[in-house]
Amino acid sequence: MHELGLASSILESVHQELHRHPGQRARKVGLRIGEYAGVDGESLRFCVDALVKDTNMEPLGLEIEWCRADAGGQGDELEIAYLELEESEEVEA
């Protein structure tokens, strides 16, 4: 199941971006996936949910935009389209 590896890579990218924005937390990540990328959206969603469960990233929304090859893309895209951040509710001691 390569979706687990993809989910792990996506979350690593989110972590890297969060380091650039102290005091923020990830609210939602948007993905752009081509129709020929060979990704099962529901499996990817399950893997992301499993990896963020009981962490400071829970809940993390996942939005998937499916891209058709005839809509200007090659159909094999797999990229983070956007990341929504919000103020972290954690209080520093």
Interval 59-70: pLDDT, tens:
999 999 998 887
pLDDT at position 74 is 77
Q: Please tell me what DSSP assigns to residue 70.
A: G
What average pLDDT does the segment 11-15 reach? Answer: 94
What average pLDDT does the segment 37-50 reach? Answer: 94
The closest of 92, 90, 85 to 60, measured between CA atoms, is 85
Cβ 52 vs Cβ 58: under 8 Å: yes
Q: How far apart are CA 25 and CA 59, in angstroms?
A: 10
57 vs 90, residue with greater confidence = 57
pLDDT band at residue 29 using 50, 70 and 90 as cut-offs: very high
Q: How far apart are CA 2 and CA 21, in angstroms?
A: 29
Domains of the chain by range and CATH? 2-18+28-87 (3.30.2320.50)
pTM metric for this prediction? 0.83
